[in-house]
Amino acid sequence: MGERLLKLKSSDGKEFEVPESVAKMSVTIRNLQEDLGDDVEDTPIPVPNVNSTILQKVIQFCTEHKDDPPLSEEQELERRNEEITGWDADFVKVDQNTLFDMILAANFLDIKPMLDLTCKSVANMIRGKSPEDIRKHFGIKNDFTPEEEDQIRRENEWCEDRP
């Protein structure tokens, strides 16, 4: 007999049957499964904050990475400076709204490797950009007065890249 399957139910009511090892990449689902006990095979585990499109992306990520060994703190720090490549690079090539929904889902479901990857993708989008470029890229309205902007610039001068 194969691996036990768990049913996950998205916020829009769609159910997904997922191998237990895939579902357990989520600390949230792991905890819910422990709370439900033996009823878990019959009862779909609700994932109320995640729609079916995003849950499908979460399942894709967890399926791809379920056998990855846990990283040490040192390895995690090293990985932060590495470029996103291969399968992961393709995975985060989505529109901005989908990427933000993936971040929210990874956070809600407590899937640290997915949260790290999706946040790193956003960080790469803004790296080297001015505050004005970042506002333009993400459609953020500037609600600071010129005086407030000058004050913030002066207070944060220490972190500016100066030649």
- pLDDT tens sequence for the chain (163 residues): 578 888 999 999 999 999 999 999 999 999 888 877 766 667 888 899 999 999 999 999 999 999 998 888 888 888 888 889 999 999 999 999 999 999 999 999 999 999 999 999 999 999 888 888 988 888 888 888 889 888 988 888 887 665 5
Distance CA 157, CA 159 (A): 5
> Could you tell me the two tokens for 30?
């792991």
> Structure pTM?
0.84
Can you say whether the dihedral through the CA atoms of 100, 104, 109, 113 is positive or negative? positive
DSSP-derived pairing of the beta strands 15-19 and 5-10: antiparallel
Residue type, 96: Q
Q: Which pLDDT score, from 0 to 100, does residue 75 have?
A: 85
pLDDT for 149 equals 85
Q: What size, in residues, is the chain?
A: 163
Could you give the CA distance from residue 8 to residue 18 in angstroms, rounded to a whole number? 7
E-assigned strands of the chain? Answer: 5-10, 15-19, 45-47
